[in-house]
């Protein structure tokens, strides 16, 4: 019995010893696991958790850099910045069904749409903010702000949004800004742009992007557990964009635009200071609403602009390419004079010019009778130019036209300008697989055939005539005022042509009679006390029943200040509605000059 008890006691002691050893082994294993975990957290993942800790205690906020303002020549503010609203998601790309449902109900978008915005919108590198909507309405922004406590993962941010004070007035001059495309970002990211930045897309906004753009700054600060700022760690101040002052007088711009819009004209008007190249007025109608195009548009708003048959986005002054008709005759007249034409010699116009079986008719069926240079311009006698083109050929006509800027860019400081078309023998062979015929020279002499020009080119050509052989690059920006107050003045580059002033004097005699003569075609421009030189034109086209209407010229004769061109699609005779537009401008310009003198 004692032996059994002793054996049982030994077994119990061994069992207890085994359990103790097992317990120690378990404790050792747990200790090892904890040690490994601590090593992993403290050594291997230290950077990750330090960053997580920093994000909890250190915040970064952007400080918006404002885009520069734009003023007209009178110092009147045209473009500034107002409060815009963007919606930011604060949980980077993390989300769940509950959040998607809440945001869908709040914003009125589907859960699928919001999910895509969270997944693919840009996250700012400094702030880790996910900008899911870049431009929300003021009403929606305030609605979200009022309920902000219910949506701690959302934040409404205020940013500087472009504001065009006159909306559509001068839209083709000013242009507009919108968010950059992927291609634009790839091209410009090295200049410090972010994917969600807005950039100039058209007009002055695009051409002067590098001056107008502001650069965002930021502030890094430490916050406590209650999200109260403890201290500022770092601050980079934003850079403000430069302000632009235009050459354009928006009082005159408004008068011309309202007149053309009231008559529902599709056309263009431009006036240039001949001694500087400063553009005083540049109108293209119809125009388009800038504040609409920079905002989130409805499908209807987008379609009304993009697919409008009147093409409101087209700047007809610099991109419209049209046959110039008779306003081209002063250039061909100069070419013929350079080739030896006697301006006083008269040629009889029977109503047509004939070569073999081919006939080219005058606009006056019975003809204009005996015609010299002055009469050929005053009454727009086509026969005079048909005959000279047959005698002297195309070479000098093309040379003079090219020297006056036809078929070439003027270099105006807005993007999108087109060079028009100055056709020659090589062009025709390449394009039409045909040689140049005498008939092509005859058509060219009166501004028809394959010739295409822009209204800006013709205004610039008349500036050269007014100055007797030179002009300055047309430009819209007068000066740039930088953030530090430095002023950069913009001047046009001088361009000269090598033709005799005496020939331009002879041409001017004819242009004066176009306005003042008994049979002149621009009598609508007659203004007491002011001598004006001008030429009207009617260009055939396939789109309208009526011809395109042109008028170009300059004033005052003797000491010219302004060269102008008015163009109306399907406007009929140049002395009609195109002349009315020009007369309105001249009267408004003279009134403005008179007021300036009186207020000195």
Give a three-class secondary structure readout of 523-585: HHHCECCECCEEEEEEECCCCCCCCEEEEEEEECCCCCCEEEEEEECCCCCCCCHHHHHHHHH
Q: Given this structure, which CATH class describes domain 76-165?
A: alpha beta
Cis-peptide into 556, omega within 30 deg: yes
- Mean pLDDT of the region 519-546: 92
CB-CB neighbours of 451 under 10 Å: 27
CB 459 within 8 A of CB 274: no
Tell me whether strands 58-63 and 217-223 are parallel, antiparallel or unpaired: antiparallel
DSSP character at residue 453 = B
Starting at the earlier edge strand, list the strands of the sheet with 562-568: 279-285, 267-273, 562-568, 548-555, 533-539
Q: What is the mean pLDDT of residues 94-115?
A: 89
Return d(Cα 231, Cα 234) in angstroms, integer. 9
Structure confidence at residue 179 as a pLDDT band (50, 70, 90)? confident
450 CB-near residues (< 8 Å, 6+ apart):
421, 423, 427, 428, 440, 443, 444
Query: Which region, left, alpha or beta, applies to residue 342 given φ > 0 means left and ψ of -120 to 50 means alpha?
Result: beta
> Is the pLDDT confidence value at 6 over 70?
no
For 280-293, how does the pLDDT look when each residue is reduced to its tens digit (9 = 90+)?
999 999 999 999 99
Query: What are 422-439's pLDDT values in tens digits?
Result: 999 999 999 999 999 999
> If you ran DSSP here, which 8-state letter would residue 492 be given?
P
Sign of CA dihedral 480, 208, 299, 145: negative
Residue 267, helix vs strand vs coil: strand
Domain boundaries, the chain: 76-165, 250-598
Whether the predicted pLDDT of 1 surpasses 60: no
Contact partners, residue 357, CB within 8 Å, separation at least 6: none
> Which of 316, 47, 53, 26 lies closest to 171 in space, CA to CA?
316
- The residue ranking higher by pLDDT, 26 or 397, is 397
Neighbours of 127 (CB within 10 A): 18
Per the DSSP assignment, residues forming a β-bridge with 564 are 271, 553
**Can you give the pLDDT at residue 203?**
97
Domain 250-598: CATH class, spelled out: alpha beta
Look at the block and give the residue holding tokens 């650069």: 215
Return left, alpha or beta for 534; rule: phi > 0 is left, psi -120 to 50 is alpha, else beta: beta
What was the pLDDT predicted at 539? 86
Q: How open is the CA angle 481-484-489, to the nearest 5 degrees?
A: 30
Per-residue confidence (pLDDT) for residue 252, from 0 to 100: 98
Report pLDDT for 2.
Answer: 53
pLDDT digits 0-9 by tens, 241-269: 999 999 999 999 999 999 999 999 999 99
pTM of the model: 0.84
- When comparing pLDDT for 46 and 412, which is higher? 412
Mean pLDDT of the chain: 89
The answer to whether residue 38 scores a pLDDT higher than 70 is no
How much is the pLDDT for 20? 61
pLDDT at 380 over 80: yes
Q: 3-class secondary structure for 188-253?
A: HHHHCCCCCCEEECCHHHHHCHHHHCCECEEEEEEECCCCCEEEEEEEECCECCCEEEECCCHHHH
Confidence of residue 52 (pLDDT cuts 50, 70, 90): very low
Residue in the structure block whose two tokens are 């899911």:
132
Mean pLDDT of 216-228: 75
Q: Enter the tokens of residue 409.
A: 């860019």
- For 97, the 3-state DSSP assignment is helix
Share above pLDDT 70 across residues of the chain, in percent, rounded to a whole number: 91
User: Looking at residue 121, what is its pLDDT?
Assistant: 81
Q: Specify which residues 347 forms β-bridges with.
A: 371
């Amino acid at each position: 019995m004692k032996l059994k008890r002793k054996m049982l006691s030994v077994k119990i002691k061994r069992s207890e010893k085994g359990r103790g050893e097992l317990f120690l082994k378990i404790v050792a294993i747990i200790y090892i696991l904890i040690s490994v975990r601590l090593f992993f957290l403290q050594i291997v993942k230290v950077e990750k958790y330090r960053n997580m800790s920093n994000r909890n205690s250190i915040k970064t906020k952007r400080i918006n850099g404002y885009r520069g303002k734009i003023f007209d020549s009178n110092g009147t503010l045209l473009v500034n910045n107002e409060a815009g609203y963007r919606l930011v998601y604060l949980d980077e790309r993390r989300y769940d069904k509950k959040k998607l449902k809440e945001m869908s109900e709040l914003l009125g978008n589907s859960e699928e749409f919001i999910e895509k915005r969270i997944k693919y919108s840009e996250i700012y590198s400094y702030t880790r903010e996910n900008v899911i909507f870049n431009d929300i309405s003021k009403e929606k922004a305030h609605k979200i702000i009022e309920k902000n406590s219910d949506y701690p993962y959302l934040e409404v941010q205020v940013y500087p949004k472009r504001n065009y004070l006159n909306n559509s007035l001068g839209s083709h001059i000013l242009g507009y800004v919108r968010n950059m495309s992927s291609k634009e970002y790839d091209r410009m990211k090295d200049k410090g742009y972010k994917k969600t930045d807005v950039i100039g897309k058209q007009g002055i906004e695009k051409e002067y992007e590098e001056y107008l753009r502001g650069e965002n700054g930021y502030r890094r600060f430490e916050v406590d557990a209650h999200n109260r700022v403890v201290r500022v760690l770092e601050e980079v101040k934003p850079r403000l964009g430069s302000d632009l002052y235009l050459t354009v007088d928006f009082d005159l711009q408004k008068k011309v635009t309202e007149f053309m819009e009231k008559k529902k004209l599709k056309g263009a008007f431009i006036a240039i200071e001949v001694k500087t190249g400063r553009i005083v007025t540049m109108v293209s109608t119809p125009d388009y609403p800038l504040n609409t195009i920079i905002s989130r548009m409805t499908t209807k708003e987008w379609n009304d602009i993009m697919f409008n048959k009147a093409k409101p986005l087209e700047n007809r002054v610099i991109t419209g390419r049209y046959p110039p008709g008779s306003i081209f005759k002063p250039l061909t007249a100069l070419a013929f004079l350079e080739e030896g034409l006697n301006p006083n010699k008269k040629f009889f116009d029977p109503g047509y010019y004939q070569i073999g079986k081919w006939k080219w008719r005058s606009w006056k069926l019975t003809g204009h009778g005996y015609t010299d240079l002055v009469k050929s311009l005053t009454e727009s006698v086509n026969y005079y130019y048909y005959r000279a083109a047959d005698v002297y050929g195309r070479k000098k006509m093309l040379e003079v036209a090219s020297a006056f800027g036809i078929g070439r860019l003027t270099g105006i400081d807005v993007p999108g300008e087109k060079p028009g078309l100055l056709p020659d023998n090589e062009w025709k062979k390449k394009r039409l697989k045909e040689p140049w015929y005498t008939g092509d020279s005859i058509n060219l002499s009166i501004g028809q055939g394959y010739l295409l020009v822009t209204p800006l080119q013709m205004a610039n050509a008349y500036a050269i005539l007014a100055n007797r052989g030179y002009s300055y690059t047309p430009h819209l920006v007068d000066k740039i005022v930088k953030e530090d107050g430095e002023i950069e003045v913009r001047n046009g580059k001088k361009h000269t042509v090598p033709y005799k002033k005496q020939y331009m004097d002879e041409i001017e005699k004819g242009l004066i009679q176009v306005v003042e003569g008994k049979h002149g075609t621009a009598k609508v421009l007659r203004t007491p006390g002011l001598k004006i030189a001008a030429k009207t034109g009617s260009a055939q086209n396939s789109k309208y029943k009526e011809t395109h209407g042109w008028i170009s010229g300059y004033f005052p004769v003797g000491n010219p200040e302004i060269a102008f061109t008015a163009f109306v699609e399907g406007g009929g005779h140049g002395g009609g509605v195109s002349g009315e537009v020009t007369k309105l401008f001249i009267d408004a310009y003279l009134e403005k000059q008179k007021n300036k003198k009186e207020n000195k």
